[in-house]
Amino acid sequence: MAHHSHAEGEVHPEVGHVVPVRYLVGAGLALIVLTAITVASHSVDMGEANLPVALAIAMVKATIVALIFMHLRWDRPFNLLVLVASALFVLLMLAFAGMDVHQYEPTIFNGNPTQVEQTLQANAPGAPVAQVKSTNGGGT
């Protein structure tokens, strides 16, 4: 592969790309600093924002690892496409699972027996599962 960004005066392999030391050490330092920032942000109460902030910092760290340590900045773009596509498919799975999980929420025992019994009686009247509350909680 042709590269034109380096004049380090070192041995150059015929293939691949030699990442300068300053890039590697800089990436390592950035990752340590970002780790310190994410730990510090943990003790700051940002309400709902804590999780997005932590995930955003993790995304930046992951990008640094992928681009510098894993050479993707200089690698064939298709390898980057493979990584990004796999992450997108995880997000796709997360999105559909997240949509699906709430479909069954009313029938799950989550501390609201009245709602559960109403739902079960409405959807499946007389089914054995609908009798759970009366056999279980009758004495209390």
Partner 1 sequence: MTQIAHDHKAPAHGHDHGHSHAHGSHGHDAHGHHDPNLAHHFDSLAQQFDSAKLGIWLFLATEVLFFGGLFVAYAILRMRFPEVFSYASHYLDTIMGGINTCVLIISSLTMALAVRYAQTDNRKGLITCLVLTFLGAVGFLVIKYFEYSHKFHDNLVWGPKFYVPPHSAEGDLEAAVLKTAPAAPGTAITVENPAPWQVPDLAKKPAVDASAVKAASQGPSGVARANGTPAPAPAAEPAPDAKDQAHPGTHLEDASMPPNTHLFFAIYYAMTGLHGIHVVAGMGILAWLTWRAVRGDFSSKNFTAVDTGGLYWHIVDLIWIFLFPLFYLIH
Q: Are 60 and 68 in contact (CB under 8 A)?
A: no
Compute the distance between CA of residue 126 and CA of residue 140 in angstroms, rounded to an integer: 22
User: Does residue 130 bind partner 1 (CB under 8 A)?
Assistant: no
Please report how many Cα atoms fall inside a 13 Å half-sphere around the Cα of residue 112, on the Cβ side: 10
For residue 98, give every residue at least 6 positions away whose Cβ sits within 8 Å of its Cβ, in sequence order, or none. Answer: none
| Closest distance of CB 11 from partner 1, Å | 5
| Residue 59 backbone phi and psi in degrees, to 5 | -65, -40
Which of 6, 12, 122, 123 forms a contact with partner 1 (CB under 8 A)?
12
Q: Give the interface with partner 1 as residue ranges (CB under 8 A).
A: 1, 10-16, 18-19, 21, 24-25, 27-28, 31-32, 35, 38-39, 41-42, 45-46, 50-51, 54-55, 57-58, 61-62, 65-66, 68-71, 75-76, 78-79, 82-83, 85-87, 89-90, 93-94, 97-98, 101, 109-113, 116, 132-133, 135-137, 140
